[in-house]
Each structure stands twice: as C-alpha cells, then as structure tokens.
C-alpha cells in the first residue's frame, strides 16, 4: 500500500466509525430499555473517539485532517439496512453480531496488509480501537443475556457482509 492507499483506507474507516456513532445515537431515544441507552451512550463515545483518532491520522497521511471517504455502495447499503432495523433485538444482532465483527476483521486485514514499520501510527490507532470493539461486543452479549433479548436471524446480513471484499471505493 502506498501513502494514498493508506489514507483512503483510514478515511473510509473514519466514515464507518462516524456512521456507527450516528446510527447508535439515532437508536438511543427510541430504545425502551434504560440499560441499553446507557450502553449505547458509552459506545457512541467510543465511536466518536475512534473517528477522531482516525481523522487525525489522515492528516499525517497527507490528507486534510478528518479526511473522510465514503465506503463502497455495497457496504453503505449494509450499514443503511442496519440503521433502519425495526426492533431492538434485530438492531443489537446486526450491529454487535454482524457489523462490528466484520469491521474488526477489516481492521485485522488492514494490519496484515500494511507495512507495520512505515505505517506504525495507523497500526497503533487500529490496535487501540480493536480492544474497544471487542469490549462493545462483550457488553452487548452480557446485557442481552441480562435483559433476555434473543438474537435475530442475521444469516442473510452476515453473508452479505462477508461477501463485500473491500469497503474502500476505488
């Protein structure tokens, strides 16, 4: 990957983090369970921080600070489908069982493909984000168990997410 490729990938990851933050913020007032509202608040903050860290990194990659690059149309459709989920169980399933694990896999793929020496600052940012995303998934599982919210069938969305090779537009 050259500098431009890294900037485009980081800018796209920033776009996704902002999209997740906005989606969860949209869900918070329409979610009846107070415990979920509190969890959502923490996760909104996490995604805002991730977007900020990624945005600062884009400046170091010769792009404007907080350079944001829209994800591919297929991935954007997936995110938008999740955003309009009709009920709490489906929202939680799509976000924490499909989208966030898929994003974690994309971050891991980025780490495997980049030059860890030349791109050390990006590596540090992503290595800082990954444990927080893992914690979010664990938070969600624990709270769904406590509130007895079952998982929805996400087979089609999971297959769709896995079928999207890249989130970075050409």
Report the share of the chain in percent with pLDDT over 90: 94
Q: Which two tokens stand for residue 76?
A: 């954007």
**pTM of structure:** 0.95
Q: What is the overall mean pLDDT for the chain?
A: 95
Position 105 scores a pLDDT of 96
Locate the domains of the chain by residue range: 3-162
| pLDDT at residue 65, as a whole number | 87
pLDDT at 42: 98
- Which pLDDT score, from 0 to 100, does residue 1 have? 87
Give the pLDDT score at 12. Answer: 97
DSSP 71: B
Q: How far apart are CA 152 and CA 170, in angstroms?
A: 33
For residue 73, what pLDDT band results from cuts at 50, 70 and 90? very high
Provide the phi-psi class of 57: left if phi over 0, else alpha when psi is between -120 and 50, else beta: alpha
Query: Given this model, what pLDDT does residue 170 score?
Result: 76
Helical H runs in 28-119?
Answer: 34-60, 73-83, 88-93, 100-113
Q: Read off the pLDDT band of 159 (50, 70, 90).
A: very high
Range 70-76 average pLDDT? 96
pLDDT digits 0-9 by tens, 17-52:
999 999 999 999 999 999 999 999 999 999 999 999
Average pLDDT over residues 159-166: 92
Mean pLDDT to the nearest integer, 106-115: 96
Rounded Cα distance between 161 and 152, Å, is 16
Strand, helix or coil at 168? strand
Distance CA 112, CA 110 (A): 5
CATH superfamily label, 3-162: Ferritin, core subunit, four-helix bundle (1.20.1260.10)
Cα 7 to Cα 62: distance, rounded to the nearest angstrom:
8
What's the mean pLDDT in 121-146?
Answer: 97
């Amino acid at each position: 990957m050259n500098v431009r490729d890294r900037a485009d990938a980081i800018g796209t990851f920033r776009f996704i983090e902002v999209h997740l933050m906005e989606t969860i913020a949209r869900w918070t007032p329409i979610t009846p369970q107070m415990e979920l509202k509190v969890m959502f608040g923490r996760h909104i903050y996490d995604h805002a921080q991730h977007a900020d860290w990624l945005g600062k990194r884009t400046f170091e990659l010769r792009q404007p600070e907080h350079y944001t690059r829209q994800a591919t149309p297929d991935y954007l459709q997936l995110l938008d489908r999740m955003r309009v989920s009709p009920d709490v169980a489906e929202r939680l399933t799509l976000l924490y069982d499909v989208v966030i694990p898929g994003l974690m896999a994309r971050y891991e793929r980025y780490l495997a493909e980049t030059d860890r020496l030349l791109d050390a600052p990006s590596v540090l940012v992503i290595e800082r984000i990954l444990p927080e995303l893992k914690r979010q998934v664990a938070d969600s599982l624990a709270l769904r168990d406590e509130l007895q919210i079952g998982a929805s069938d996400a087979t089609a969305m999971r297959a769709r997410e896995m079928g999207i090779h890249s989130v970075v537009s050409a």
